[in-house]
Structures are given as C-alpha cells and as structure tokens.
Amino acid sequence: MQTKEPASIGKQMNGSDMLIESLRRENVDVIFGYPGGAVLPIYDKLYGSGMFHVLARHEQGGIHAAEGYARISGKPGVVIATSGPGATNIVTGLADAMIDSLPLVVFTGQVASSVIGSDAFQEADVLGITMPITKHSYQVRKVSDLPRIIKEAFHIATTGRPGPVLIDIPKDMAQGDGEFSYEGEVNLPGYQPTYTPNQLQVKKLVEAVTAAKKPVILAGAGVLLSKGSEELKNYAEQQNIPVVNTLLGLGCFPADHPLHLGMAGMHGTYTANMAIYESDLLISIGARFDDRVTGNLKHFAPNAKIAHIDIDPAEIGKNVPTKIPIVGDAKEVLSQLLLQDGETGDYTKWHEKLAGWKQEYPLWYENSSEVLKPQKVIELLHQYTDGDAVVTTDVGQHQMWVAQYYTFNNPDRWVTSGGLGTMGFGLPSAIGAQLANKDKTVVAVVGDGGFQMTLQELGVIHELNLPVKVVILNNHSLGMVRQWQEIFYEERYSHSLIPNQPDFMKLAEAYGIKGLQAKTEEEAHAVLKEAMETDGPVLMNFFVAPKENVYPMVAPGKGLHEMVGVKP
C-alpha cells in the first residue's frame, strides 16, 4: 500500500483526510482504536495511510494502552472510538487520565449532525458524559474547523498540567469537505499556563529552608511529567533535604539514595510518614495532597510550614493550607532554586533521627518455606530485571507490594493508576509502555481479579509479538477488598473470594503466549529466569499466600503517625 503525500496548505479536503494529515503534523506514530459505524469514514482513510494503528480488543483496553504510551513516551496518546457504546467504553480511561494528569487526544465518532438529539442508533451525549473528566472537549460543527480543533487539542493536552482532550466528530463532518489549514500558533486567551515561578515566592522558600530544622520534600508525578528528576536530585543534595515520594512520584528520586525515605501515605514507610508528621517545613513538588497521602488532614504535618509547588494553581491550598504557594513547572522552579544556592540549615539532629527510624522500622514481611509470599515475588522480579524494567500494575495489594519492594531508581519506569484506582489498567497500559520504549523490558504485575477485566488484550500482545512479561499474583481473591473486610468488617468476606479461577496456562496457550507458573520460591526463581530469557511475551501465574496483607497501613480517618503493622 502506498503512503499518501502530505497535503498542501489551503487545499480542499475531506474531513477524515484532514484528521489523518493533522495527526501527521503532530508527529503521531501510533493510534489506539476500535472501528465502528460512525468512524468508518476515518478508518477508510487510515487504510493505506501508512499510520500505525493498534486494534484494541476493547475500547477500555485501547485508552489504557494510550495512557501507558503517554506516561512513558511523554507524547500524547491518541485514541479513536466509535459513537455510543464505543465512546462510553472509554469513560473510565478518560477519568483515569484526568486525575493522573496524562496527555491524551481522543476522537469519538458521533451520529450525523442532522439526527443529533433524536436518540439515533448508537447516539450518546458524549460531551455531556465526559465534560467533568476531560481537560477540554469539542464537538465539530464545521468541517474546516477540524484542523484548528485538533491543533488546539494537542496543545491543551500537553501544556500546563497535562490531561485528556476529547474531540467528538459527527459522521457528516468526517465525510464532508472543507479547506485544510494547519499553520499559525495556538493562542487561547483563556488558557495561558504559568511555567516560570514568582521570584518573591522562590525567595521566601529559600529563606524558609535556611530557617528550618526538619525539612522534607514530598515529590509527586509533577516532577516526572516536567522531566525534572535530575533537578530534584541536585536540589535535595545541594540543600541536604530528605525526600519522600507519592505513589505516582516513585522513580523521580533514586530509591537507593541516602536522602530517600520511601513512599508516603496509607501504605508508605514508617520513616516517610513520621518525617512528614514531625517536619517543620514540608515542600510539596508536583503532588496534590491526595487523601491516601495525607491521611486525616487534622494530623497532617501539624507543625510544618507548607510550601506547595504546582503548575496547576487550582491544586494549591485546595486540601492543605499553604504558606508558600509557587505556581510553575516543577523543573523550572527547581532550576530557579538551584540558582539561588540558598544557605543550608542545621539538619544534623534531623538526619540522625531519620536514620534511626530507617534502621528500626524497615519494611518487613515474614517469609515462609511452605507458601510463596507475594513480596518475595516482587523482590525476585527486581533481581531478575536488574531493577530497571518498566513496571505497570493494576490496583490493589499487588500494586502496593510493587511500590514497596520494587525499588525504582530511575524515572519513567513506573506506570500505575493512582487517583482513580482502576482495576484492569495494568495489562493494556503495558502494551502502550512497550510501544513507547521498544528496547526496555516491560512487566505488567496484575492481580487475578483485575487481570480478568482486560485479559482480552493478550490478543494485541500476541498479534504484535510484544515482549511484555505478565506477572499474576494469584491469591484467589480481590486482595485489597478482602484485607479491608478482614480488618474493618469482622472477616465477612462478602463476594471478595474467587475460588474458581480459569486455567491461566490454557488461557496463555489459547492466545499463543508462553505460560509458566510457580507455587514455591524455588519455582519462582526458575519461572522468572526463563521468562526474562524469553524474547517474546510470557504469562506467569504465581500462586501466593491467600491471606497476606499489605503493611504498614494507615487506617481511614487516622493520621500518618497512627500506622499499624509497623513491626512483625
């Protein structure tokens, strides 16, 4: 098939041709989608366009794959879905990308303009449904507007705080003709993100650092999104300030660095949580003070002056009172702080206290020769991947064990659903992550529950022969739900146990993928070794201790200093 030549400016074009040409201008190298009646004009133009399209097996899988691609590549993930059920099937992914600040440009088909509002076949009010969970949304009303709309959508999705932008395209807009123009800069008067910080606020933070005795940096995903990991490391070392991470911020600061205290929050380390609780200056960078990080706000950093650095001004002061607000890009703000080279305070006693906590209260679990512990599987995974794989996860116990025991020393190695907590995210997001970084080992760590929500995407992995390694931590339950029912609901396991599982080895065989399984630590070594030496995809099923819980834990309503399960 021949690739069409780029269009000239001002040429009369079909709406679908405009879309394809606009994607070329935006240097899009992969599209995730699923065809249907309302988008057939677009798919007809994709035929022979030379553009690489990934046929998801479900629209939710397609948009999660686009999220994984966006998270690792830094480029916007592009999705196409048809009208009605195709569009509604991507709602979860839009909400997930919105809360976790992932750039997506999503095209949905729509019924013809003449029948919108008549309950036509496969019609849904996509703008009404998705407006609260997108950064911006459009419906095309004039064919010649399509190039401008697409250009604005890519600009909005990737600037400021990233997020998903939706473009709803009625079928007649995809079929009609108009004048194509893709020139000129995007200028949206009502949308002008602030990248450079106010210098007076930067100076206030410099002075606060000098005066502090117990400073802590809370580093979130904003550091990764701004590509500011090196600046964070240099700043922490320059000022000798310890660093804790949010769940989504893991990898933005080396986990093996002496200044790193671990992850904060509900299942964070004792040292990280107590450091926040006792700090007198808390510097939040690219984090939004989610409730899973703060615990009970009445007890959150009660003695600390809060400095909040964020590109989204709406986040500053939203949950936690802020003394030093700094609006700006995390990398740019850190660069400005490094130039200030402020005088470091005397933190000797503080570092001694933190070192004592680290030694006395490390992460722990009781290993067993009788049953395979999930924490051990993650430690072995770290060993057999040299700690440098791109790891994606679903949501639940396995997610927390990866966050705790797969120590991330490099940025852009961690893909998970944080704010929305989306089961079924891990497998499809691994597809996008692998396409974004073809030379890196990508491992999807999933639970037996979440895996069964999107397991059909194994078809994509097989079709494209993607060398994704899938690790199922199989405890025959919805693990985190079961844990909460054990602790808070007197062991009433209401519909959280899954004793009847499919044969995952036969499932792997059905999809043409190598399947391996283990029930002991010795078998786990052998399985991981073989999997990592296999060029293609592998599905690994680890039967792990069914009643293992994630600790430490901050119970709902408790403060970070009220952790349980800190010691055996």
Q: Where are the domains of the chain?
A: 11-180, 199-360, 374-550
Q: Where are the alpha helices (DSSP H) in 515-557?
A: 521-532
Catalytic residue set: 59, 121-122, 171, 480
Give the span between the Cα atoms of 345 and 213, in whole angstroms.
7
Q: What is the pLDDT of residues 10-57, one digit of tens each?
A: 789 999 999 999 999 999 999 999 999 999 999 999 999 999 999 999
Residue closest to 217 by CA, chosen among 200, 234, 203: 234
Q: What is the pLDDT of residues 364-417, one digit of tens each?
A: 999 999 999 999 999 999 999 999 999 999 999 999 999 999 999 999 999 999
pLDDT for 14: 96
Give the span between the Cα atoms of 308 and 324, in whole angstroms.
6
Strand pairing category for 12-14 and 177-179? antiparallel
Q: What is the pLDDT of residues 443-502, one digit of tens each?
A: 999 999 999 999 999 999 999 999 999 999 999 999 999 999 999 999 999 999 999 999
Residue closest to 27 by CA, chosen among 87, 75, 84: 75
Residue closest to 219 by CA, chosen among 207, 205, 236: 236
3-state secondary structure 461-482: HHHHCCCCEEEEEECCECHHHH
Beta strand extents in 180-239 (DSSP E only): 215-219
- From residue 188, how far is each of 159, 191, 529 by CA, in Å? 12, 5, 53
CATH 3.30.470.20, domain 11-180, yes or no: no
Please tell me what DSSP assigns to residue 2: P
pLDDT for 11: 87
Query: Partners of 471 in the beta sheet?
Result: 445, 540
Q: How far, in whole angstroms, is CA 283 from its chain's centroid?
A: 22
User: Which amino acid appears at position 560 of this protein?
Assistant: L
Tokens of 107: 């095209």
Please tell me what DSSP assigns to residue 455: G
Domains 11-180 and 374-550 share a fold: yes
CATH architecture of the domain covering 199-360: 3-Layer(aba) Sandwich (3.40)
Q: Is the pLDDT of residue 2 over 90?
A: no
CATH 3.40.50.970, domain 374-550, yes or no: yes
CA angle 348-350-353, nearest 5°?
110
Residue closest to 379 by CA, chosen among 518, 528, 535, 249: 528
Query: Partners of 53 in the beta sheet?
Result: 31
User: Which amino acid appears at position 151 of this protein?
Assistant: K
Tokens of 307: 């400095």
Give the span between the Cα atoms of 205 and 219, in whole angstroms.
16
Q: What is the pLDDT of residues 64-86, one digit of tens each?
A: 999 999 999 999 999 999 999 99
